[in-house]
Structure 1
Amino acid sequence: MTNDGFESAVRTFWEKRAEQAAKQIAEGREDAGTRGSVTGGAHLDALTLLMVRHFTEVLNYPQSSIYLGKKAELPGYYRPTKQWDLVVKVGGQLVAAIEFKSQSGSFGNNFNNRTEEAIGSAVDTRRAIEKGLMGPARPWLGYVFVLEDAEGATKPASRDFKPAFKASPAFEGRPSYAERYRLLCKRLLEDQLYDAACFVLAPKDVERPITQPDDELTFSRFIESLNEHIKRESGL
């Protein structure tokens, strides 16, 4: 899978957002702020389909093993179910599950929600896997995050953190939201909540490049992790 194909899929992220916002305005149900471009859904479809092609054309899983949308629902441990964005399942065995998340604007309002969601989904699903609810083999879990490359995301925070106890050294010096998301993805991997994570900064301006600011969180490493896990793990 080429990096060009990945970047093309990321570019469509903004195109889909604009289309969804315009559609809602035309139908007279415009959401406040940028929410209309998010609640329409499907803005990460191109990335999802890119991964579907990888599973079917490179890893040779049948189309019938791919589950998307409401069908991509897995059992939880602390709650009955959790809907992922892409699930690959063969018989009674979960092969892989991927979350595709994004954020554009409202960086301060959404960071904690995105963080809690990423951690909670992984912990819940990992526990269900340990309990044998998704087959005897160890499935692969992936997390993809696309963040708008904008000043609000990349500039240092406007205030210091003042928790009841000293904050982690990694969060000293007013790190930007982009840096916080990078740290989130790194620590999700360090604690083995996900097998791979991909963190992308995507500007709206097509003349500006898409960047992947951490070598451990690139799309190529994401795919490499998936391929190696499938080869290594017996039963997948």
Structure 2
Amino acid sequence: MTTFEDYDAAIRALWAGRDLQTQKQIESGRIDAGTRGSTTGGKHLDPLQELVAEQFEPLLQIGAKVRSTGVLTLPGWYRRAKNWDIVVTYGDTLIAAIECKSQSGSFGNNFNNRTEEAIGNAVDLWRAYEAGHLGRVRPWLGFIMVLERSQGSLESVRDRGVPIFPVDERFRDTSYTDRYAILFDRLVKERLYDAACLISAEKGKGIHSEPLEEVSTKNLTAAIAGRVEYIKGLA
């Protein structure tokens, strides 16, 4: 079973530009801590994607394919297609699709973009599924966000302007960390995603905290395990 320590190693590898296996060797003391593994060349989320993809590997026994590298394009409905970070298929059926994102700085500029992406990606894929483009079994969708823990992500947002109508009181005096937690909590509760995960980490360090239990690494791991067993049962 994938543990909190595994996710912590993946986050440390993310910041350091190491691959996941090199980071695990460093943390076990088997190689010098100053030795760099393979740099990601812009693919800094690869260690996290590798860790999550590994959790679907029991499905390889039934002939499923687990992909976490390369161009992984799935058809849409409101647009032609969308590239996902992790895609699991079994024959002509989509088993799971997961998006992995990180945000370091520029919180105000990027929060709305990330929110619109998360909502839009899910709505587009579900409509494509309803149209029969993704197989007969309901897909499983996940979203993972690594958010830099800093003053900019922790302090209350100074929203500009006065809304024409009253806004949801839950957003009052909230930080961007709080708002991501609200976003993912609602996306999961309303079944736009089957699981989500919000990780708060200081730059260069491992996981500092997981702001909401419902969208934590523990819940993500349990949800993936449930999906794996479900598909094995169908097969």
TM-score by structure 2 length?
0.83
Show the counterpart of 1:182. Answer: 181
1:52 aligns with 2:50: no
Structure 2 unaligned segments of length 5 or more: list them. 19-39
1:116 aligns with 2:116: yes
**1:141-161: CA deviations, max 9, x gaps?**
000000000011001113466
Calculate the aligned-residue CA RMSD, in Å: 2.2
Show the counterpart of 1:72. Answer: 72
Flag the 1:209–1:198 CA change in 2: closer, same or farther, 3 A: closer
Is the contact between residue 201 and residue 210 of structure 1 (CA under 8 Å) also seen in structure 2? Answer: yes
Provide the C-alpha distance between the structure 2 equivalents of 1:197 and 1:142, rounded to a whole number of angstroms: 5
Larger CA deviation: 151-160 vs 78-87 = 151-160
Q: Displacement, 1:60?
A: 4.0
Write out aligned runs for 1:128-207 (5 A): 128-159=128-159, 162-173=162-173, 175-206=174-205
Structure 1 unaligned segments of length 5 or more: list them. 18-38
TM-score by structure 1 length?
0.82
Larger CA deviation: 223-232 vs 86-95 = 223-232
Show the counterpart of 1:226. Answer: 224
Provide the C-alpha distance between the structure 2 equivalents of 1:74 and 1:209, rounded to a whole number of angstroms: 31
Flag the 1:66–1:205 CA change in 2: closer, same or farther, 3 A: closer
Counterpart secondary structure, 2:17: helix
Counterpart secondary structure, 1:210: strand
Q: Displacement, 1:90?
A: 1.5
**1:46-90: CA deviations, max 9, x gaps?**
01111222211x444579712334431100010110100010112
Q: Displacement, 1:40?
A: 5.0
Flag the 1:64–1:41 CA change in 2: closer, same or farther, 3 A: farther
**1:20-58: CA deviations, max 9, x gaps?**
xxxxxxxxxxxxxxxxxxx953111001111222211x4
Q: 4+ runs of 1 displaced by more than 6 Å?
A: none
Same amino acid, percent of matched pairs: 42
Provide the C-alpha distance between the structure 2 equivalents of 1:120 and 1:61, rounded to a whole number of angstroms: 33
Q: Displacement, 1:162?
A: 1.9
Is the contact between residue 65 and residue 88 of structure 2 (CA under 8 Å) also seen in structure 1? Answer: yes
Q: Displacement, 1:198?
A: 0.4
Provide the C-alpha distance between the structure 1 equivalents of 2:200 and 2:189, rounded to a whole number of angstroms: 21
Flag the 1:62–1:148 CA change in 2: closer, same or farther, 3 A: farther
Provide the C-alpha distance between the structure 2 equivalents of 1:225 and 1:162, rounded to a whole number of angstroms: 39
Provide the C-alpha distance between the structure 2 equivalents of 1:46 and 1:14, rounded to a whole number of angstroms: 10
Amino acid at match of 1:48: Q
Provide the C-alpha distance between the structure 1 equivalents of 2:140 and 2:216, rounded to a whole number of angstroms: 17
Flag the 1:127–1:61 CA change in 2: closer, same or farther, 3 A: farther
Counterpart secondary structure, 2:208: coil
**1:119-161: CA deviations, max 9, x gaps?**
0001000111122211101111000000000011001113466
Flag the 1:64–1:227 CA change in 2: closer, same or farther, 3 A: closer
- Size of the aligned set, in residue pairs, is 212
Provide the C-alpha distance between the structure 1 equivalents of 2:63 and 2:52, rounded to a whole number of angstroms: 12
